[in-house]
Amino acid sequence: MTAEQTRRRPQRYRPERSTTVLRTSDENPLGDVGGRVREGIATWLRSPALDFYALLVIGGLLLGIGLVMVLSSSMIISLGRGESPYAGLISQGRFALIGLPLLVLAALLRPGFYRRMAWPLLLVGFALQMLVFTPLGFGAGGNRNWIRIGSMTLQPSELLKLALAVWIASIVAMKRPLMNQPKHLLFPIAPVIVIALGLVLYGHDLGTAMVMCMLIAGSLWVAGVPRRWFALAAAVGVVSVTGMVLTSANRMARITTWLHGECVGSSCYQADHGLMALAEGGWWGVGLGESRQKWGLLPAADNDYIFAVLGEEMGLFGTLGVLALFAALALVLLRMITRIDDLFVQVAVAGISAWLLGQAFTNMMVVTGLLPVLGVPLPFISAGGSALVTSMTALGVLLSFARHEPGAADAIRARVGRVRRGATVVPAPAGAQAAPRSARARRRSAAKAARAASRSSASGASSRGRTTTAGTRGSSPRRGAGTRGGTGARGGTSSRSGSTASRAGGGSRARAGGGSRTGAAQPASPAPSRTRRTRGTR
């Protein structure tokens, strides 16, 4: 290689190192962090899939808290029965495992499926509730609201709540233009409601009947029923509840204790020990598993009064955390109602919301003494198989509705695709078939392919034009190379003439070097080696 070729060799770009620190501003080195955070939160809140992910997170947190608290509150009870201290957790975990596939299945189904299955689901709920009054049914605490099949105990009224929410939404969506007419409003909604409440009240379960009334009121309110009908229903409800209280000495004692604060017999025992548990918890609690009221002092410590044990062990901040989760659930469900245009979905979400949230806040108010003792469990947290399985299934129905919000399906699919691509380590086999894509994805791929083809054709045409021009220009320099080579000093052409001939005429350096020794360009002569050309140049 000659010295001139070495000088003309392009130099590699080497970026200079900088020792300075880049700052967006001397006053604010990190930039507008607050603005970026606000923008990120606003983008997250505008996401169409927010409700879906929020329901998953809130439901998972409540279920996890429930399993931990059932273990803590039932250990002493299990030991007293001669069982394993983990018997309560094992039983609750078994029901959670039953509810998990039901949740997934309910989330995968489309809203139209629930609309078509409204009547069959209601009939199944009625049939199970009627089994309470057969030899399969049994009572506890003055209420007859359970059935026993072998070693398994079920509470049919829990399934009846879900069936009633879906059925009311289906009827309201079908009769939407006729809801202002009394006959269409009363039939068939009124007879079905009376039958459902009658079956529950006949078993003396006032707490479940009150929760069902909340469900019915929430559904009909979102459906747009005139307010005068609510006033009439409220009057009928007050009369019915008053009659049930007056005919039951146990309920009368509880109401009297709650109103006047006078303890009559053992009517205030459970309420007093629930308040004691909350008082002993203080701000931060006595520690997980360290409750003293669960040692046989607080009745139903793992069920109706599990919130009191939670307050004793985790303190005020623990109870406020659970309260915040249910409040967040209420906001998410309200957002779903306002974002969805389908009346069936709106009414169904309203009914399920009134059921779960109304039951949760009723339980908390009973434990804190704001309401008399009603025997209502805390959703997702209290021990109880029927309540947990039904609540998880209802959460799956809500996930199905959230998945079909406008734009939510595409956002969830994009998120899942990014997660899969990020988790992929081993490439797919060469013969593996790609997963089927949607019509929109196929159209997008076809459009990209068409644009790429048009760009490649345009670039090919321009490159052919440049090649023709270069060939025309290079004919004259090639002939001139032989002339300059014959008259060159020292019996050969310079390396500059050889390189010029190589660039213009397309010949190799070896051919240009061979022509320099003969005095003329000889394209057909054999190419000498790099060593001979270097020696001749020297």
The C-alpha atoms of residue 430 and residue 419 are separated, in whole angstroms, by: 22
- SS3 per-residue string spanning 439-490: HHHHHHHHHHHHHHHHHHHHHHHHHHHHHHHHHHHHHHHHHHHHHHHHCCHH
Structure-token pair, residue 463: 């490159």
> What pLDDT does residue 519 have?
39
CA distances from 178 to 173, 174, 187, 263, 284 (A): 10, 9, 11, 52, 55
CB 313 within 8 A of CB 326: no
Residue 382, φ and ψ in degrees, nearest 5: -65, 150
Find the domain containing 160 and state its range: 45-409
Q: What is the DSSP string of 166-190?
A: HHHHHHHHHTGGGTTSHHHHHTTHH
Structure-token pair, residue 267: 């009517």
Collapse the DSSP code of 154 into the 3-class scheme (helix H, G, I; strand E, B; otherwise coil) and give the result: strand
The C-alpha atoms of residue 500 and residue 229 are separated, in whole angstroms, by: 100
Structure-token pair, residue 358: 């109304």
Question: Does 273 fall in a domain?
Answer: yes
* Residue (of 495, 474, 484, 476) closest to 521 by Cα position: 484
* Residue (of 119, 189, 129) closest to 154 by Cα position: 129
Q: Based on the structure, what is the number of domains in the chain?
A: 1
Question: Does 366 fall in a domain?
Answer: yes
Q: Which residues of 116-148 are buried (b: 16+ CB within 10 A; e: fewer)?
A: ebbeebbeebbebbebbeeeebeeeeebbbbbe
Q: What is the DSSP string of 199-242?
A: HHHHTT-HHHHHHHHHHHHHHHHHHT--HHHHHHHHHHHHHHHH
The C-alpha atoms of residue 334 and residue 330 are separated, in whole angstroms, by: 6
End-to-end CA distance of the chain: 11
CB 374 within 8 A of CB 212: no
Q: Is 181 left (phi over 0), alpha (psi -120 to 50) or beta?
A: beta
Collapse the DSSP code of 153 into the 3-class scheme (helix H, G, I; strand E, B; otherwise coil) and give the result: strand
The C-alpha atoms of residue 325 and residue 307 are separated, in whole angstroms, by: 14
The C-alpha atoms of residue 493 and residue 521 are separated, in whole angstroms, by: 10
Question: Does 252 fall in a domain?
Answer: yes
Distance of CA 400 to the CA centre of its chain: 11
Question: Does 181 fall in a domain?
Answer: yes
Residue 538 CB neighbour total at 10 angstroms? 6
> What pLDDT does residue 186 have?
83
CA distances from 406 to 398, 403, 413 (A): 15, 9, 13
> Which residues neighbour 229 within 8 Å (Cβ) at sequence distance 6 or greater?
185, 220
The C-alpha atoms of residue 75 and residue 92 are separated, in whole angstroms, by: 13
> What pLDDT does residue 476 have?
45
pLDDT tens, N- to C-terminus, the chain (538 residues) = 554 554 555 554 454 554 544 445 555 555 567 777 777 777 777 888 899 999 999 999 999 999 999 999 999 989 988 999 999 999 999 999 999 999 999 999 999 999 999 999 999 999 999 999 999 988 877 788 889 888 788 999 999 999 999 999 999 999 887 777 878 778 889 999 999 999 999 988 889 999 999 999 999 999 988 888 888 888 988 888 888 888 877 788 888 878 777 676 677 888 889 999 999 999 999 999 999 999 989 999 999 999 999 999 999 999 999 999 999 999 999 999 999 999 999 999 999 999 999 999 999 999 999 998 888 999 999 999 999 999 999 999 999 999 998 888 888 888 777 776 776 555 555 554 555 556 666 777 788 888 888 777 766 655 555 555 445 444 444 444 443 434 333 433 343 434 443 343 444 443 434 444 433 444 444 444 444 444 444 3
Question: Does 262 fall in a domain?
Answer: yes
Question: Does 528 fall in a domain?
Answer: no
Location of structure tokens 């079908």? 174
> What pLDDT does residue 131 have?
93
Task: Give the predicted TM-score (pTM) of the model.
Answer: 0.72
The C-alpha atoms of residue 240 and residue 256 are separated, in whole angstroms, by: 18
Question: Does 227 fall in a domain?
Answer: yes
Q: Cα 245–251–256 angle (5° rounding)?
A: 95
149: enclosing H helix or E strand:
strand 143-149
Residue 197 CB neighbour total at 10 angstroms? 19
> Which residues neighbour 533 within 8 Å (Cβ) at sequence distance 6 or greater?
509, 510, 513
The C-alpha atoms of residue 321 and residue 454 are separated, in whole angstroms, by: 59
Q: Is 258 left (phi over 0), alpha (psi -120 to 50) or beta?
A: alpha
Question: Does 488 fall in a domain?
Answer: no
